[in-house]
Amino acid sequence: MNAARLPARRAVRLSAADIGRAATLALHDELALAPKPGLVSFVDSGSHSDMDAHTFMRSLFALRHYFVQICALGEAHAPFEALERCGIAAEARMLAATGGINTHRGAIFTLGLLCAAAGALLRDGAPLDPQALRQALRRHWGDALAARTRRVSALPGGMAARRHGLRSASEEAALAFPVLFETAVPALASALRRGLSAQRARIDALFATMATLDDSNLAHRGGMAGLRHAQQAARGYLAQGGAASDHGFAAARALHRDFVARRLSPGGAADTLAAACWMRRVCEDIRPPAP
Ligand SMILES: CC(C)(COP(=O)(O)OP(=O)(O)OC[C@H]1O[C@@H](n2cnc3c(N)ncnc32)[C@H](O[C@H]2O[C@H](COP(=O)(O)OP(=O)(O)OP(=O)(O)O)[C@@H](O)[C@H]2O)[C@@H]1O)[C@@H](O)C(=O)NCCC(=O)NCCS
Ligand SMILES: Nc1ncnc2[nH]cnc12
């Protein structure tokens, strides 16, 4: 078809409610994806004995207002301390809903900050695109995020990151999420442009993220050997053609079994994939056109 005859893109102005709802839907996108190595899905509980997809659904339900609230705080250009209070309260609601199990701590942090950045862009009347989101994050809360990396984490992942000299979730945020913006989002967008289904595109984006991210969950559960094993497995998977290849699903299922046998779970990569799915839902240049 001649490009000039393609339907014109309609600019759709989103609200804080739309942006927050997209975060909940993106977490569902991630949960519903299968096969994904070691992670919980509707198929099974992967490497986890204390939680399943129902635990994640309860957590999602408990968090649905949080993402709208933190976006509204961003829209009000609230200080970092207000975002943090909102995140800590959301974490408490998540733990109450799951009986004390950590399902979405990383997502509360990462997606929460992104929703706040989107709110700041709404207020400025600026277009929502990945570059603008990154700049808004740096401009409004970059200094506070950098200062935050000097705190010593008492969480298992944070301690493992410190022990092995890895980039923790806090440090990834202070750098305005390089793996998300430079690896996960381009991998998802490129796979969709090549015509892959949403499922195959998300699998490729997850593996691209796993190959690159210093996932503190992998380091906490499997030490540096576990993290390096997962990164190499992800690189090998993509080098063999990824989800687009004839063996793409079978190879991803085989890696799922391998990760379960090793008790490995790339929770940080899962959160990063959810953040990329959220961007696909809200950003004008990578969002599917309105019908
Ligand atoms: C700022 C905090 C998020 C803590 O920061 P810290 O620097 O200590 O971070 P990490 O421990 O490295 O990461 C915290 C969670 O973030 C995900 N993650 C891991 N690596 C990365 C990475 N490199 N980049 C980005 N994100 C990353 C991960 O979360 C996911 O995995 C969790 C499930 O793992 P699982 O192994 O099952 O569970 P555990 O309970 O940890 O252990 P075991 O069961 O094995 O015993 C799940 O949460 C996923 O989401 C890391 O766990 C922070 O906690 C904080 O301060 N929060 C409050 C403030 C806030 O949220 N503010 C928001 C707005 S400012
Ligand atoms: N689907 C999933 N399974 C296990 N940990 C996770 N952290 C975020 N998403 C996850």
How close are the terminal C-alpha atoms of the chain, in Å? 18
**Model confidence over 52-96: pLDDT tens digits?**
999 999 999 999 999 999 999 999 999 999 999 999 999 999 999
pLDDT of the residue at 160: 86
Cβ atoms within 10 A of the Cβ of 170, count? Answer: 18
Considering the entire predicted model, what is its pTM? 0.94
Q: How confident is the model at residue 12 (pLDDT cuts 50, 70, 90)?
A: low
Alpha carbon separation from 151 to 78, 90, 104, 159, 218 (Å, rounded): 22, 20, 21, 11, 21
CA of 91 to the centre of ligand 2 (A): 15
CA of 197 to the centre of ligand 1 (A): 29
Give the residue, 204 or 6, on which the prediction is more confident. 204
pLDDT of the residue at 291: 53
Q: Let me know: does 41 contact 53? Beta carbons within 8 Å.
A: yes
Cβ atoms within 10 A of the Cβ of 4, count? Answer: 5
| H-run or E-run covering 158 | helix 156-164
Q: Does residue 284 register a pLDDT over 90?
A: no
- Cβ-based neighbours of 3, under 8 Å, separated by 6 or more: none
The crossing angle, in degrees rounded to 10, of helices 216-239 and 267-282 is 70
Rounded Cα–Cα distance for residues 217 and 226 (Å): 10
Rounded Cα–Cα distance for residues 260 and 38 (Å): 5
**Model confidence over 244-277: pLDDT tens digits?**
999 999 999 999 999 999 999 999 999 999 999 9
* Ligand 1 site, residue 216, Cβ cutoff 6 A: yes
**Model confidence over 177-186: pLDDT tens digits?**
999 999 999 9
Mean pLDDT over all residues of the chain? 93
Closest listed ligand to the CA of 114: 1
Q: How confident is the model at residue 287 (pLDDT cuts 50, 70, 90)?
A: low
Q: How confident is the model at residue 1 (pLDDT cuts 50, 70, 90)?
A: very low
**Model confidence over 136-170: pLDDT tens digits?**
999 999 999 999 988 888 888 888 888 998 999 99
CA of 140 to the centre of ligand 1 (A): 22
CA of 268 to the centre of ligand 2 (A): 8
CA of 39 to the centre of ligand 2 (A): 5
Total number of residues shown for the chain: 291
- Ligand 2 site residues (CB inside 6 A) read 30-31, 39-40, 48, 265, 267, 270-271
Q: Does residue 3 register a pLDDT over 90?
A: no
Q: Does residue 28 register a pLDDT over 90?
A: yes
pLDDT of the residue at 152: 84
- Cβ-based neighbours of 128, under 8 Å, separated by 6 or more: 14, 118, 121, 122, 282, 283, 284
- Cβ-based neighbours of 162, under 8 Å, separated by 6 or more: 152, 153, 168
* Ligand 1 site, residue 113, Cβ cutoff 6 A: yes
Going from N- to C-terminal start, the domains of the chain cover 15-282
88 Cα nearest atom in ligand 1: 58
Cβ atoms within 10 A of the Cβ of 186, count? Answer: 15
**What is the residue whose two structure tokens read 């008790």?**
263
